[in-house]
Amino acid sequence: MTDDLLTDRSPSGGQPAGDLLLDVRDLRVSFPTADAEGGSVTAVDGLSLSLARGRSLGLVGESGSGKSTAAFALLGMHRGTGAEVTGTVRVAGTDVNAASDEELRRLRGNRVAMVFQDPLSALDPFWSVGDQIAEVYRLHTGASRRAARARAVEVLDRVGIPDAARRAGAHPHEFSGGMRQRALIAMALACEPDVLVADEPTTALDVTVQAQILDLLHDLREETGMGLLLVTHDLGVVAGATDEVLVMQGGRAVEHGGTEDVLRAPGRPYTRQLVEAVPRLEARRTPVPVGDDVLLRVEDLHRHYPAPRGSGGERAPGLGRLLGRRPQHRAVDGVTLDVRRGETLGVVGESGSGKTTLGRMMVRLLEPTSGRILLDGRDISRDGERALRPVRRDLQMVFQDPVSSLNPRRSVGDSVAEPLLAGGADAAAARSEVRDLLERVGLPASWYDRYPHEFSGGQRQRVGIARALAVRPRLIVCDEPVSALDVSTQAQVVGLLGDLQREFGLTLVFIAHDLAVVRQVSDRVAVMRQGQVVEWGDADRVYESPQHPYTRRLLAAVPVLDPAEAASRRRARRALLALDRSADGAEPAAVA
């Protein structure tokens, strides 16, 4: 355990093997590659870890570090996939790699249960939530149908699903993201497992919901004494939720120790990099001198959509209802904001708050239902495509998902050159300008002819930024530009945006759900909730003395790197939650 590649300061290092729920020695997982030579890629390379009853371990690393592959090996999930697994994995006394298929099947869901990243796709859309939980329970305990159903309601109630007896009959798509993750945790709890393996359980969730789920996992562990292995890329998540941390890089453990020790004083340069890359709420932006000159102003902006069926809302009466006129969902509901020349306006909010709809209207990819959009004082909210053409150069957008927003069948150079060619540039000039742009965003100019699939996530986002820059816009709306990226890559892309802003005199609107990232880049911040801006002002003012209770709740939910601080925040959240319960009711339902 103490080879020179690993910095180990773990408190449980010398524990006898008998007390361990999880005991992994020298685990290696390799996948055969598609080439003819029979080569293979080693995803996990000699990993050892252990977990005692009632303890929790965070498995941390960037994407591709092998952390999820290792977690799946704990349940023997690589069996039958062609992956080669060596080493020993003992879970609750069973040797996973040596067990028969039947023994393994009885272990899964019963002694060790798993919670996945995306709770919507992890549940069967055709089955009610309660039936899915009952099925697992019956399978492992042989209970009667009625007893299994009762158990499902019991665990759903335990994870905080309101009105569990009724909601057990609902299908996954009728739950919000947070409730789906609760339901999956309930399924994991059904058989009272010894170990819970959670693979990025909160990555797909909003920050307030993330905090609730992490608090729930924490309470369940205290209550049941099960061990928790939490796989995440987010050190902030680990800080509040685990006793120990194991940092992985390239399939190997590089550092292992008590969470507080590792985060306070990382022993490895790699860990230090990870810790430093985590965006902090306190990290403010160096102020940029900005005048009072307003570039873009939106006034009382609305955008309404027909509400999804069954979501309630005002019903259209009589004939309208028969003809299928549906109630309106107000995605953006009366927003007034201005963006000053040269500044960065941050827009934060949780999913469904209307921030993306607002951003798309700002660059007129969407037409508002009502309200005005003033660019240099001229209203462009009703302009048709022809009238907008000159304005399109000024207003550009960078999208969240750099994979789907680039055409996979065009070289990245051609994608970036397209707006230039559309603007009438000749091919040779466009090509040389695109090469300059690629270098400017930190990519080699020689990559012009490569295709998007050859790029990493961060590189693709750089391409997306280059494409937005190509026409020399005045305003760029960045919609969650870094939320799909690892923390270290996030920091690089955020840095790049700042550099480009200074160099080109850009005005930015930065839309994100991550409050710490928004603070890093923004001069002013608008907080959105249910289509409305609830608070708007200088970033320092909003973060240091938030006025609106919702802003306060958002800030309280942000994970922090200091475990002691995380624990005190958990207590503060409970107090806030108790206050809200009386005022606010349950979580709002999902909008599909």
Positions touching another protein (CB under 8 A) are: 75, 77, 104-110, 113-114, 116, 118, 121-127, 135-136, 139-140, 171, 173, 184, 187, 309-310, 321-324
Nearest distance from C-beta of residue 96 to another protein, angstroms: 13
Task: Please give the span between the terminal C-alpha atoms of the chain, in angstroms, as a whole number.
Answer: 48
Is the CA virtual torsion 93, 97, 100, 106 positive or negative? positive
For another protein, the closer of residues 106 and 304 by Cβ is 106
Nearest distance from C-beta of residue 569 to another protein, angstroms: 31
- Cα(221)–Cα(570) distance, integer angstroms: 15
Nearest distance from C-beta of residue 128 to another protein, angstroms: 8
Q: Which two tokens stand for residue 13?
A: 């290092």
Nearest distance from C-beta of residue 324 to another protein, angstroms: 6
Nearest distance from C-beta of residue 169 to another protein, angstroms: 11
Kindly tell me the burial class for residue 442, based on how many C-beta atoms sit within 10 Å of its own C-beta (0-12, 13-18, 19 or more).
middle
Cα–Cα nearest to 546, from 503, 520, 515? 515
For another protein, the closer of residues 93 and 495 by Cβ is 93
For another protein, the closer of residues 135 and 535 by Cβ is 135
Query: Quick count: other Cβ atoms within 10 Å of Cβ 465?
Result: 25
Q: Strand 532-538 relative to strand 395-398: parallel, antiparallel, unpaired?
A: unpaired
- Cα(401)–Cα(399) distance, integer angstroms: 6
Q: Strand 532-538 relative to strand 524-529: parallel, antiparallel, unpaired?
A: antiparallel
Nearest distance from C-beta of residue 308 to another protein, angstroms: 9
For another protein, the closer of residues 52 and 136 by Cβ is 136
Helix or strand run (H / E) with residue 515? helix 515-521
Nearest distance from C-beta of residue 279 to another protein, angstroms: 29
For another protein, the closer of residues 135 and 234 by Cβ is 135
Dihedrals φ, ψ of 17, to 5°? -65, -25
Kindly tell me the burial class for residue 65, based on how many C-beta atoms sit within 10 Å of its own C-beta (0-12, 13-18, 19 or more).
buried
**Which residue has 């598609």 as its token pair?**
34
For another protein, the closer of residues 159 and 275 by Cβ is 159
Nearest distance from C-beta of residue 538 to another protein, angstroms: 43
Query: Quick count: other Cβ atoms within 10 Å of Cβ 96?
Result: 26
Q: What DSSP state is assigned to residue 34?
A: S
**Which residue has 């947070």 as its token pair?**
178
For another protein, the closer of residues 9 and 105 by Cβ is 105
**Contact status, residue 274 vs residue 60, Cβ threshold 8 Å:** yes
Nearest distance from C-beta of residue 161 to another protein, angstroms: 18
For another protein, the closer of residues 183 and 496 by Cβ is 183
